[in-house]
Amino acid sequence: MEGGGGRKEKPRAKEPAARLERAKQRSAQQELKQRQRAEIYALNRVMTELEQQQFDAFCKQMQASTE
């Protein structure tokens, strides 16, 4: 019996390339998440402004109808 646990060593020639590819994928995924988050924040800001404008218009309309 061998004392090495019976595991065979895999060739490590492709390992750096695979590791580099995974790192690139993770980096691209992070960039995508950051871009999506920025777009969500921008959309939220626009929607908040629109909601405020509509509320102001509603208040003016209600004020005009009570006078």
Which pLDDT tens digit goes with each residue over 12-53?
Answer: 556 788 899 999 999 999 999 999 999 999 999 999 999 999
In whole angstroms, give the CA distance from residue 35 to residue 32.
Answer: 5
Distance separating alpha carbons of residues 32 and 45, to the nearest angstrom: 20
Distances in whole angstroms, Cα of residue 34 to Cα of each of 10, 28, 38, 54:
37, 10, 6, 30
**Chain centroid offset of residue 57 CA:** 34
Q: Which pLDDT score, from 0 to 100, does residue 28 have? A: 97
Q: What one-letter code names the amino acid at 46?
A: V
